Structure 1
Amino acid sequence: MGLSTLRDLCGGRLVGAEINSCEVTLYPGQIQGGSHRADTQTAGSVCLMVQSTLPCILFAARPSALTLRGGTNVSHAPQIDYTTTVFKPFAEKFGIKFDCDVRIRGYEPKGGGELVLSTAPVRNLEPITVTERGDITKIYGRAYVAGVLPIKMAKDAAATALRKLKQEFRDINVNISAVQEPRQGAFGNGNGIIVFAETSTGCIFAGDALGRRGVTPEQLGTNAAEMLLSNIRHGGCVDEHLQDQIIIFMALAKGTSRVLTGPITLHTQTAIHFSEAMTPARFTVSKTESQLPNADAYIIECQGMGASNPNI
């Protein structure tokens, strides 16, 4: 679905995009902009579709509005709350502005969610330097249920995460709400939790968990809190999931970008590999000191290719 959408956005031609194919080739045309729709017809993640389409439509000839249908809070992908709260403000550091309007939330296995991604084109992306971690100043989040699931499940997950986080941050206010999603704003049954921590320099970290058969609300709350704590302890400015999502923007930017991160993930290594294979951008990764004890921090530096929008 992601490649098919990119084909439509640029009026290109796609060869080999079928089940059991061993090779896929995209012959791109000019990036169109305008209004487009893409429907996974499953619980395929709309957040992953945002990741694949946003770098493309930023270089369109005119503003774009993409209506994306699928799952908003599903496994093996960022939750939509992560995309809007963590990814969006960081991506905008590169000098872009975009909106993610969540019309309907969708869950596994049916999907049915809807998101409208809209943005204006840019001439080029600005390089960034994000190397000052700062101190944790607030922690917040939401535990939710949708459909026929009882609100008690959200309350139990929220309470467990709160207790776990307060053990580590006794002097910081922790606010985790329990939410029953409105029926008109959610399709199907689903539950989960996502928690965030913000620092004095504007860094945002997250931890989350999705409900599934055999997993108690208390386990969800514990898992989300432990993921957040792990992302805080490494001493970087971005968490493990944001780390790989920003590589393409660093590669496209005009100039040198530097970001302080935790241990380099396999997804990030893969993103760097293909960015260097497909563009003139060059990356270096180096171990560095952190203000936190027992931290495991690294600097990702990129000399971006300076991609320029030929339409502006």
Structure 2
Amino acid sequence: MSKGLVEIDGSVLEGGGQILRIALTISAIKKIPIRVVKIRAGRNKPGLMEQHLKGLELMRDMCNGRLTGGHMGSTEIQFWPNELKGGTYTAKIKTAGSITLLLQVAVPAALFADSATVLNITGGTNTEMAPQIDFYTEVFRPNLEKFGATFDFELRKRGYFPKGNGEVSVTVDPVAHLNPVILTERGSITDIYGWSYTAGTVPIRLAYLLAENAEKLLKEYGHVAIQKYKEDPKVAPDNSSGLVLVAETTTHCVLGGSGMFRKNAKVEEIGEEAANKLIHTITEGACVDEYTQDQIVILMALAKGESKVRIGAVTMHTKTAIFVIELLLPQVKFEIIPDGKTNILKCNGCGN
């Protein structure tokens, strides 16, 4: 191990890009030099892909850090952070790599910069293997706000697989600290709503079919209102279709589910898939869905005080996030307390 560097094995647990993302964020916020080895060893194409490289470069720029091993295909990096500085930063993913995965790295870090941060990012806004940008703004952001932080968002252009070229601008104001959250009472469902869209040459009738198949499954859980529309070709010139769903509860829980049209998939499968993801969270009684679960782990760790959140089954992404955080921040310990179909995730955060 290089002197002064905390070494992280990128092949453990989830074995993908999440280990690198969590490590980078904690490293930048807490100014902990890191060495990540065996990066994405569990993937068909190990090493850094375009979106991971852009995430590394973005974090390097935000904290005026030093990076070695930052090239395509690299399976080892070393990162020495300095002070996080506000300002305007640009990251251009040349592929349809997910913008939201870059935001998962950069937004928590920007909360602890010395002034406001503007992130201008190009890449994929709505892609299969990551949360759609609408999920990030409509489901994750309300959960972030429970911790006392938020961000402003401007969608300039949508980008789909395989071309990408989507453009977003995100503004993050710093916070003195994150507040601890107690989110253990799910309450009952008050609203279910969402957005079903098509873009490019995909006919709008597909948006109606996606929504209808989701509504059939969701109607027994309450009133469902899904907007069906075709994207403005100036904003979304390429072909795609998909669905993002949100459920709110009497205790202000915000849950989500989503689906995107993909090759060889039937339209009804996509609508049902999105609905079933949301139904799964509703029926198990969790206060956050499985896709928000691992994203709030870092917020709980950084909050000033004890947080408790009712989650469903502990996902591999959540286990991975906890592993990396506890390795880098030994003073932070998570506890998972089984409670019926759910678990209480407990953490006494370290503050900033």
Shorter-normalised TM range: over 0.9
2:254 counterpart residue number: 204
> C-alpha separation between the residues in 2 aligned to 1:22 and 1:298?
35
From 174, 178, 182, give the equivalent of 1:125.
178
Give the CA deviation at 1:235: 0.9
Calculate the TM-score normalised by the size of structure 1: 0.93
- Asked if the contact 1:32–1:62 (Cα under 8 Å) also holds between the matched residues in 2, the reply is yes
2:50 counterpart residue number: none
Give the CA deviation at 1:97: 2.5
* Between 91-100 and 251-260, the greater mean CA deviation after superposition: 91-100
> C-alpha separation between the residues in 1 aligned to 2:196 and 2:292?
21
Task: For structure 2, list consecutive stretches of 5 or more residues without a partner in the other structure.
Answer: 1-53
From 247, 252, 256, give the equivalent of 2:297.
247
- Asked if the contact 1:154–1:217 (Cα under 8 Å) also holds between the matched residues in 2, the reply is no
Superposed, 1:42-81 pairs within 5 Å as 42-81=95-134
* Between 227-236 and 265-274, the greater mean CA deviation after superposition: 227-236
2:316 counterpart residue number: 266
- Asked if the contact 1:145–1:153 (Cα under 8 Å) also holds between the matched residues in 2, the reply is yes
From 230, 246, 267, give the equivalent of 1:217.
267
- Asked if the contact 1:207–1:224 (Cα under 8 Å) also holds between the matched residues in 2, the reply is yes
1:305 counterpart residue number: 350
Q: Are positions 1:86 and 2:139 aligned together?
A: yes
Q: Secondary structure at the match of 1:49?
A: helix
Superposed, 1:169-248 pairs within 5 Å as 169=221, 172-248=222-298
> C-alpha separation between the residues in 1 aligned to 2:177 and 2:218?
40
Let me know the Cα RMSD of the aligned residues. 1.1
Give the CA deviation at 1:22: 2.5
Q: Are positions 1:13 and 2:66 aligned together?
A: yes
Identity within the alignment, %:
43
Give the CA deviation at 1:186: 1.4
Q: Secondary structure at the match of 2:209?
A: helix
Q: Secondary structure at the match of 2:320?
A: helix
Which 4+ residue blocks in structure 1 deviate beyond 3 angstroms?
none
- Asked if the contact 1:125–1:253 (Cα under 8 Å) also holds between the matched residues in 2, the reply is yes
> C-alpha separation between the residues in 2 aligned to 1:4 and 1:35?
14
Give the CA deviation at 1:226: 1.1
> C-alpha separation between the residues in 1 aligned to 2:98 and 2:285?
29
> C-alpha separation between the residues in 1 aligned to 2:230 and 2:203?
8
Counterpart amino acid of residue 284 in structure 2: H
Task: For structure 1, list consecutive stretches of 5 or more residues without a partner in the other structure.
Answer: 290-295, 308-312
Could you give the per-residue CA deviations for residues 115-155 of structure 1, whole angstroms, max 9, x where no partner exists? 11101111111111111100011111111111111101111
2:7 counterpart residue number: none
- Asked if the contact 2:142–2:254 (Cα under 8 Å) also holds between the matched residues in 1, the reply is no
Q: Summarize the Cα distance change of 1:49–1:20 in structure 2 as closer, same or farther, 3 Å threshold.
A: closer
Give the CA deviation at 1:224: 0.9
> C-alpha separation between the residues in 2 aligned to 1:278 and 1:75?
30
Q: Are positions 1:106 and 2:151 aligned together?
A: no
Q: Secondary structure at the match of 1:184?
A: coil
Could you give the per-residue CA deviations for residues 250-287 of structure 1, whole angstroms, max 9, x where no partner exists? 11111111101101000000000111111121110010
> C-alpha separation between the residues in 1 aligned to 2:299 and 2:237?
33
> C-alpha separation between the residues in 2 aligned to 1:207 and 1:125?
26
Q: Are positions 1:275 and 2:320 aligned together?
A: no
Could you give the per-residue CA deviations for residues 170-212 of structure 1, whole angstroms, max 9, x where no partner exists? xx21111211000111141111111111111111111111111
From 78, 84, 88, give the equivalent of 1:31.
84
Counterpart amino acid of residue 282 in structure 1: K
1:310 counterpart residue number: none
> C-alpha separation between the residues in 2 aligned to 1:103 and 1:189?
17
Give the CA deviation at 1:216: 2.0
> C-alpha separation between the residues in 1 aligned to 2:321 and 2:237?
33
> C-alpha separation between the residues in 2 aligned to 1:144 and 1:216?
16
> C-alpha separation between the residues in 2 aligned to 1:267 and 1:277?
15
> C-alpha separation between the residues in 2 aligned to 1:128 and 1:267?
20
Counterpart amino acid of residue 73 in structure 1: N
> C-alpha separation between the residues in 1 aligned to 2:257 and 2:83?
38
Counterpart amino acid of residue 206 in structure 2: M
Q: Secondary structure at the match of 2:75?
A: coil
Calculate the TM-score normalised by the size of structure 2: 0.83
